[in-house]
Amino acid sequence: MARKSVLEPYKIIDAASLGTNYTSGVTSIKNLDNIWIELEWTGTAPSGTITVEVASEYPKESNQYTQFKALDFGLPITISGASGTHAININQAPMASVLRLKYAYVGGTGTINAYISGKVVGA
C-alpha cells in the first residue's frame, strides 16, 4: 500500500497585527502538490491584501531566501470587515521549496491567524 506525505495543519501566523505591514516566516512546501491555507481575522475595520509568495532555491551564499515570487490568483486576496475568513487552495503547487504570506496594510486594526496544511497527490 502506497503512503502519501502530508503536512498536518498548523499555525503559520499567530495573532499578527493588521495595523501594519507584516511578513510571515517561511514554511517548507517541498514535494507537496496541494496546499490549503486558512485565514481568520478580527478587528476594527481592518483593510489590506494578502500575497502568497514562494521561493524555489536556498541561496548558497546566505542563510535566507531572497528570491520570493508572488503567486497570481487572478484577484487580490483582501482582508476587510470586522471579522472574516478566507481559504486559499493551491492545487498542483509550483516548483517551490518554501512559502510565506505578506500582508499589505491599508487601514484599520486587528489581528490575523493563518493555518497551513498540504499533501502529495501521488504515491
Residue 1's pLDDT band (cuts 50, 70, 90): very low
Fold (CATH) for 21-118: Jelly Rolls (2.60.120)
* Cβ pair 6, 83 in contact under 8 A: no
Mean pLDDT of 53-73: 78
pLDDT by residue (tens digit) across 96-121?
A: 888 999 999 999 999 999 999 998 87
How many angstroms separate the CA atoms of 97 and 105, rounded? Answer: 27
- The residues spanned by each domain of the chain are 21-118
| pLDDT reading at 64 higher than 80 | no
Q: Which three cell numbers stand for residue 51?
A: 500575497
pLDDT score, position 58: 62
- C-alpha distances out from residue 43 to 17, 20, 101, 112, Å: 9, 13, 19, 9
The C-alpha angle with vertex 58 and arms to 77 and 119, in degrees rounded to 5, equals 55
Answering whether pTM is above 0.85, one says yes
